[in-house]
Amino acid sequence: MGFNTSALDLTECEQTEAWDWLYLMQPAFMSVICVLGLLGNAFVLCVFCFHRCTCSVADIYLGNLAAADFLLACCLPFWVITVTRRFNWTFGEPMCRLVSIVIAMNHNCSIMFLSLVSLDRYLVLTRPVSVARFRAVCRAKLACLVIWVASFLLSLPALLFRSVKFFPEFDAEACFIDYPHGAWRLRYNMTVSVVGFLIPVPLVSFCSYHIIRVLKDRRVRRSSSFRSERRAALLVLVVLAVFVLCWLPYHVFIFLDTLYYFGVVCGCVWIDGLDIGNQLSTYMGYSNSSLNPFLMQPEQLVLSPTLQPSDANVTPPYLDYFNTTEWRLVYTIIPPYIFIVCLTGILGNTFVLLVFLLQRSRWTVPEIYLGNLALADLVVLVCLPFWAMNILNYFMWPYGEFLCKVVNMSIIVNMYTSIYMLVMVNVDRYLALVLTMKARWLRRKRYAKVFCLSLWLFGLGMGVPTGIFRTLHDISGRQEFNCVLHYPYDSWRIVHHIQLNVLGFALPLLAITFCCVNILRALRGRYWEDRSDKKATVLVCAVTLLFLICWGPLHVVTFMDILCDFQVLDEEKWFHVLDIGAQFSVYAALSNSCLNPLLYVCSGNYFRRKVSSIYNRRKQSNASDVTAMQRTVLTTTTSNQIKPVVLDEKD
């Protein structure tokens, strides 16, 4: 968040190329977590605001958590712009102090409310009778008020010591914490580590451990509320894991910064590493605020305050189907896998789009295809967290029928678009390397744009049935719903599966294989003569292999399902295997959207040259021959108006 105090020591050290990478990557990552945080937390707040029933204790805690995360996300755009301008703060000192204290205050609030949610769940499950009278709404509001006040007091250093100062060595006016002496820096580091990590992590771990112990009790397992309480316990564990993954790197760097203060570590390498690590780990920690609304579902966390007696209605029969070892593996493996794929893929595809958008030259034909491919992959990955939470929720869809249709239709539309953009990338390579002169007229930008528009319309057409037939299915009259594809006739389902096999795999695989085989033939004669041809050959082989590995299992499962429909295979024997296989194969296929930017773009010299040109252009714009004073904008009064006069201009 701006310059760390150790950044002042960088005046004696030369900046490394890692800073150039930071200036490009960090704003992209910050923009993603800002957008996700604003949308997710705004959605949670709207749910609570339009909820007609009286707010429960859990509602109050989660509402305050969403408010803290939302305010934190609102302040991140200021730092996106500042990092893009190489930490040159242009919003004035009052905004420097205001933005910093809001971020620090809501960061502390977010962590404290997370701990409070876990503590509340622990008390409800372990001491339901004795704690019932203390879980009053007024007491919950008082606890929230105390947390807000405590967070404000803990954030006072950001208000008192934040200032804007010009650093001629960096040619930047930076918003940084200027402590009166080094002891304040040590106190701040210790306070952040203790209050922000060392206390919350043991507290949430303690609560999670005792919640699990309670849920293992046989009497609890026989109660009708066992499923909802078990789901809540699993959610608490996921929250703890995400919290530790997001904030652990930041507190490691805080600890290393403390060692630097005591002289245990020193040198330019450590100074540079600590500042870059501090930048990256800070915003990785803030990403926790964008993930909380996906984890903390408002409609599912408003749970009953006490467990029902053991003679209450038993767990409905439809849940017994999921009580197998295979389905436990689904709940354990797939949601974390989806979050990893989403995080990696969103960062990779956003980075690709930013590089293409920031370049000065017009897009070439390959860039048009790759840009549309990255956009389609990005939309798919943004929709996947809804299904991760749906799986954690035992396939009970909590987001309403509208999102059931929109999310799944978006996945299908962009899945087909992504696959066929992938095909067009390979077709374009085939035309460029095999039919260099004959098909030159086909590689025009106009045709590339027409092809891309046609593929988006094709994907939309493939997604229309999903938008029509996706609906909520009430389970056993319990007002809990599955988001399912409900076809009017069984024949529609068979046609859909055949369409998926043919249009979603067979035709694209044939096209990619045809292009790759002919490209290999064209490059065979000069395989050992040119290193770039050798790399192109390896990349072409990797393209076909990756597509086959990612999408092959899904279409094998789909094909076996078709055989069951035609009674070639025994449906009763294969139903369970195909059901579990579909869960794993679908998300293995969608991981192709995460790997595409690495394989098709970031691995090539062409893309590296694009990134290097952006670096060089930014360096040249910040390292002109004129002095720092001459780079500033002078003002001259002419005709009673103030006009800016720039002394040095470069195209």
- 551-598 pLDDT, tens digit per residue, is 888 889 889 888 888 888 887 888 888 888 888 888 888 888 888 777
Q: Are residues 222 and 353 in the same domain?
A: no
Q: Are residues 69 and 177 in the same domain?
A: yes
Q: Are residues 74 and 173 in the same domain?
A: yes
Gap between the Cα atoms of 35 and 373, Å rounded? 21
Q: Are residues 583 and 518 in the same domain?
A: yes
Residue ranges in 132-225 assigned as alpha helix (H)? 137-154, 156-161, 182-193, 200-215, 218-221
Q: Are residues 349 and 254 in the same domain?
A: no
Q: Look at residue 332 and tell me if it is in a domain.
A: no
Q: Are residues 294 and 438 in the same domain?
A: no
SS3 state of residue 208: helix
Residue 159's pLDDT is 81
Q: Are residues 385 and 259 in the same domain?
A: no
Q: Are residues 536 and 394 in the same domain?
A: yes
Dump pLDDT digits (tens) for 180-226.
Answer: 877 777 777 788 888 888 888 888 888 878 877 776 665 555 555 55
pLDDT at 137 over 70: yes
Gap between the Cα atoms of 597 and 347, Å rounded? 10
Q: 320-324, 483-487, 637-641: which has the highest mean pLDDT? A: 483-487
Q: How confident is the model at residue 175 (pLDDT cuts 50, 70, 90)?
A: confident
Gap between the Cα atoms of 417 and 374, Å rounded? 10
169 or 650: which leads in pLDDT: 169
Beta carbons within 8 Å of 231's beta carbon, 6+ residues apart: 300, 392, 393, 394
**Interval 232-241 mean pLDDT:** 69
Q: Look at residue 379 and tell me if it is in a domain.
A: yes
pLDDT at 641 over 50: no
Nearest to 366 by CA among 617, 606, 611: 606
Q: How confident is the model at residue 383 (pLDDT cuts 50, 70, 90)?
A: confident
Which of 283, 301, 319 terminates a domain? The answer is 301
Dump pLDDT digits (tens) for 116-128.
Answer: 888 887 887 777 7
pTM of the model: 0.53
Counting beta carbons within 10 angstroms of the beta carbon of residue 564, is it exposed (0 to 12), middle (13 to 18) or buried (19 or more)? middle
106 or 511: which leads in pLDDT: 511
Gap between the Cα atoms of 417 and 394, Å rounded? 30
Residue 163's pLDDT is 86
Q: Are residues 419 and 542 in the same domain?
A: yes
Q: Look at residue 599 and tell me if it is in a domain.
A: yes
Q: How confident is the model at residue 636 (pLDDT cuts 50, 70, 90)?
A: very low
Q: Look at residue 643 and tell me if it is in a domain.
A: no
Residue 6's pLDDT is 43
Q: Are residues 293 and 426 in the same domain?
A: no
Sign of CA dihedral 400, 557, 349, 451: negative
Residue 626's pLDDT is 36
Q: Look at residue 445 and tell me if it is in a domain.
A: yes
pLDDT at 635 over 70: no
Dump pLDDT digits (tens) for 355-382.
Answer: 777 776 777 787 888 888 888 888 888 8
Q: Look at residue 621 and tell me if it is in a domain.
A: no
Which of 274, 301, 328 terminates a domain? The answer is 301
Residue 327's pLDDT is 78
Gap between the Cα atoms of 600 and 544, Å rounded? 12
The number of CA neighbours under 13 Å toward the Cβ of 480 is 15
Q: What total of structural domains would you count in the chain?
A: 2
Gap between the Cα atoms of 346 and 323, Å rounded? 33
- Please state, as a whole number, how many other Cβ atoms lie within 10 Å of the Cβ of residue 621: 11
CATH code for the domain of 577 = 1.20.1070.10
115: which 2 tokens? 């701990």
Dump pLDDT digits (tens) for 404-424.
Answer: 888 888 888 888 888 888 888
Nearest to 69 by CA among 228, 383, 287, 254: 287
Which amino acid makes up residue 170?
A: F
pLDDT at 228 over 80: no
Q: Look at residue 315 and tell me if it is in a domain.
A: no
14 or 395: which leads in pLDDT: 395
Q: How far is CA 572 from the centre of its chain?
A: 39
**Interval 305-322 mean pLDDT:** 44
Q: Look at residue 86 and tell me if it is in a domain.
A: yes
Residue 146's pLDDT is 92
Residue 92's pLDDT is 84
Gap between the Cα atoms of 406 and 386, Å rounded? 11
Domain range for 578 is: 338-614
Q: How confident is the model at residue 528 (pLDDT cuts 50, 70, 90)?
A: very low
| Mean of the per-residue pLDDT values of the chain | 75
Q: Are residues 145 and 233 in the same domain?
A: yes
Which of 286, 301, 316 terminates a domain? The answer is 301
Q: Are residues 266 and 351 in the same domain?
A: no
Nearest to 471 by CA among 490, 492, 487, 494: 487
